[in-house]
Every structure is written in structure tokens, then in C-alpha cells.
Amino acid sequence: MVNKKKSEKEDTEELILIAARQVFVRKGYEGARMQEIADEAGINKALLHYYFRSKEKLFDKIFLEAFRNFWPSVKEELERGNGTVKSLIRAAVHSYTDLLMKMPFLPAFVIGEINRSPERMEDLLLATGINPQFVLDVIQKGIDRGEVIPLEPRSLLINIVGLSLFPFISRPLLSRMFFQSDEEFFKFLENRRTDLFEFICRSVLTEYQS
């Protein structure tokens, strides 16, 4: 009986998370309302608040689950590539693009939270297991062994993140200016992964320098 109740609770929570992701995708974090999430899940608002007391708590759960899958995929690619900076660039570009294509509302939320509460955003990111110092160490080792041109490791990390995030942050403007539909936009982003990977590699890896 206890196991059945536990299973029902887990099923309801997962139903809420699925519904919330769909609403966040359509409306963004700011535009989403708890009543709309409850309606999407087919439950009443009181039950939704029983599981998640606020939209912030609900989003935190989705955010943590999304990024917990992100970091292991980066480390796995690094291990396959023997810890090279080239494998780091590939892992970061592909993993960021995959994540944000599934959850395109994330960048706007992150930017809002960085401005509103940088401490909370830092805590959320660290709670996912992401280790910025580990990434900086990989880059520094690449510089030391001559794989990467002399540069500030933080600069390369910021460039990788920034170039990966920008199309998603500026999606409303880019969509109006260059694309006829969301399908065309996301197809472009899917293909852009390879272009971005090559662009960054050619900019910083010594094997590409003449």
C-alpha cells in the first residue's frame, strides 16, 4: 500500500513537471502561471501547490534535472577525447545546443535570475554538479602542452558559453529577421553546432594555425 502511494505521488509529480515544461516553452518563465500549469497537468491548483509551493520551486526542479544531464555528457565526451580542449569545445557546444533546443526558455530565465539574484543562480548551477574550475584546468593544461594558443582560460570559457547561448537569448529578434518559422530556426541551430565547433577550434587551437 505504501509503495502504491509512493508510485502515485511520483507519477503525479512527473505529470506536473511535463506540463510545466510545456507551459514554460510556450510562455517563458515570466509568462507562465501556476493555474495554467495545473490545467495542462489536468489537476487542480491546490494539488499543484501541494507538490510545489511556488513557480520558483517548480522551475528549480526542472532546471536542476536539465543540467544534471548536461554535465555528465560533457565529462563523458572529455573522457572519450582524452581530456583535450578540442573535446571540451565539442562537448560544450553540442551539449548546450541539445539542452537549449529542448528547453528554449532557459536562457531568458537565467539572464533574469543573474540580474535579480546572482547568488541564487550560482547556487543553482553548482547544485547541478557543474564545475567551472575543472573546465578552466582543462583549458590551462591545453595551453601548457601547446594545444591551445596563449590566452586567458576564462576568456575561452566565456566565449564558448556566450556563442552557444546568444541565438537562444535573441530568438525573438532573429526569428523575425531571418526565419519564417520556429521549425526553420531550430533546424538552423541544429546545423550551427558543427559550424560553431569549427569556428571556435580554428580560433584557438594550434593545429588550425598556419
- Closest alpha carbon to 38 in 26, 47, 28, 50: 47
* pTM for this model (two decimals): 0.80
| Helices H / strands E in the chain, number of each | 11, 0
By percentage, how much of the chain surpasses pLDDT 70?
96
- 3-state DSSP assignment of residue 110: helix
| Phi, then psi, of 148 in degrees rounded to 5 | -120, 145
CA 124 to CA 126: how far, in whole Å?
6
Highest mean pLDDT pick, 91-105, 112-126, 186-200: 186-200
Neighbouring C-alpha atoms within 13 Å toward the C-beta of 142: 30
Domains of the chain in start order, with CATH, are: 3-63 (1.10.10.60), 68-208 (1.10.357.10)
Q: What's the pLDDT tens digit per position in 68-105?
A: 778 888 888 888 888 899 999 999 999 989 988 888 87
Residues 9-65 have pLDDT tens digits of: 778 999 999 999 888 878 877 888 999 999 999 999 999 999 999 998 998 888 888
User: In whole angstroms, what is the distance from residue 79 CA to residue 208 CA?
Assistant: 22
Q: Answer whether residue 2 shows pLDDT above 50.
A: no
pLDDT number for residue 85: 96
